[in-house]
Structure 1
Amino acid sequence: MEALLAYLAKIPADGVWRGWAYRRIGGSANNILYRATRGEMDVAVKFTIRDTRRRAWREFQALTALQDAGLNIAPRPILLDENSFAQPVMVQSWGAGEVTAVPPQADDDWLKLVAHYATLATVTPADVAVEIPQAVVNFDSVVSGWQHIQRQMELIPRQQQPAILAQLYRQLQARYEVVERAVIPVKKGLCRVDGNTRNFLRRDGRWLSVDWENSGWGDPAFEMVDLMCHPAYLDVSPERWQRVMQQYAQMTGDETAVLRMNLTYPMMLVWWVARLARFLYEVPLGKDERLAARPPHWQADMERKMNVYVERATAVLRQL
């Protein structure tokens, strides 16, 4: 396996090497992914960008915790190497299933998606022997939500911040003055983070999910908010999300889940405005490094998305 990793670290074109058939899998900006097969072995080899998140390590730890818990909802971890190559690398079993950019359409598929997250919520710090960090983006309280939003805004010089971002932030502050002091107990659980539709392997039985490089401890109920605000799900109806929230609360037995979701949903919309504003500020300055090249029209796409989030955040805040 080590020899294969050394070879793939050179980023070769698809081919065969020492009996391994390998091909590169596209679609990610922050990692280089290969599928490699030889005999009965079928693995995913993932080189990640090197940053403070320790993405390969995060993913390996999460998959190890899930394997130890006996939960078949993610690939099996095989190997982690953060030091031998220019990029950290992890190897995991290859998962089979349908991958699509489209959100679930049938009620049955929505139930499978919610059940996936409800199962994940059963993994708690008390059950896990391996080290798991805090999730990269998870609002486990209103205070945590403020911290995440402020962290994005602090990375943009004040004079470069869009006026609408400052306006939304002030509106959020005005509506959350009392709420901020409310403390709702949260039972921490393992959170995968990033509910991109392409991260789920849809199968007849339990769905699997991949790409755990932002995972960690957090409020499991916030994972539904992450879905609700993710660009891939922006066309899903409010009625569907109401059902999803109720289904999640019922499956997990979490009596305050819906309350916490409703509290953090407006905050996550404003976070997205701040994140996209930061993206538009940093990329032209060469500050947002990626392993894959950006598409030629990335800026127009980001500006369009930001406008969508501004409109949605404005509408939601108006209703509070």
Structure 2
Amino acid sequence: MTRPSDNGYRMPAEWEPHQRCWMAWPCREELWGDGLEAARDAYAEVARAIAAFEPVTMIANPRDVAEVSLQLGPGIATFSQEHDDSWMRDNGPTFLVDSRSELAGVDWKFNGWGGKYEPHDLDDKVAEAVIRHVQAELYKAPIVLEGGSIHTDGEGTLLTTEQCLLNPNRNSGMDRKQIEEVLQGYLGVRKVVWLGQGLHNDETDGHVDNLCCFVKPGVVLLHACRDSSDPNNEVYKDARARLENATDAQGRSFEIVEIEQPRPRKGRKGDKLAASYVNFYIANEGVIVPAFDDPRDEAAFDTISKCFPDHDVVQVLAGDIVVGGGGIHCITQQQPKVD
């Protein structure tokens, strides 16, 4: 089987130029409950914020296309495609580029975050539909993987967590070495840096995009929790220790920038939400950052602005997204720009 890396493809960093951003309209009523309309308003606000920097296409179920288009307003495209849920980072394609500026897409197997949400068969078809729509080369991967579980610097280094990718509810029977071989073959990475647990109560089983991300090669932005009574304190300390003891694919030690988590927020069931400022979207010349009507919003804005001095940082209230189990990064998927 020919893998993308065999043909020179790699997963670019998220700050490399984009052709557009893909999103999907919230539609799983049993997930959102009476918060569905608020979630839709929040998704629309994120889409409009991104559209100030790059084109946005919103996937909508065929019966909803006209209504969604009206709610989004001018300047945002819709794409008619049946789907079950609205987390494009996880069930959408992972796009790749090669040295000839050609585009490819990886279609990972999708099982509803380890079988937590049914049905998910329509979501499992979205990635292939998008890849074929943009006329990119299609590669079907042999493992279950969600896009929020991986993050790359575009230079051969990938961050992930053991809690997610080694979870038996994803790829039972596969060990760390086998998973690494697939990541290397399908994403063109040369080194995988394994963190341990993700954030407390993250129902994705610890996606890395809630915990840390690259802001440029060699520099990692880390979700910090200095409250020793909070379960995320141990998560933070372990992640920092692992990053301090690791190097990237170029042999560099990591510079770690910390961003303190927002104050605890509770969901509809009274459980603590896995809210994170790290869960943002990098657009062309812009960064769309979550805000939580929290005293720490301003410090988060300042930290991310320093990390991206050449970008405009825009904060969007994300509380109505987080109650569904994710953040701004989770609901978006960038398509790289190619010549």
More helix by share: 1
* Structure number with bigger Rg: 1
Q: TM-score, normalised by structure 2?
A: 0.28
More strand by share: 2
Q: TM-score, normalised by structure 1?
A: 0.29
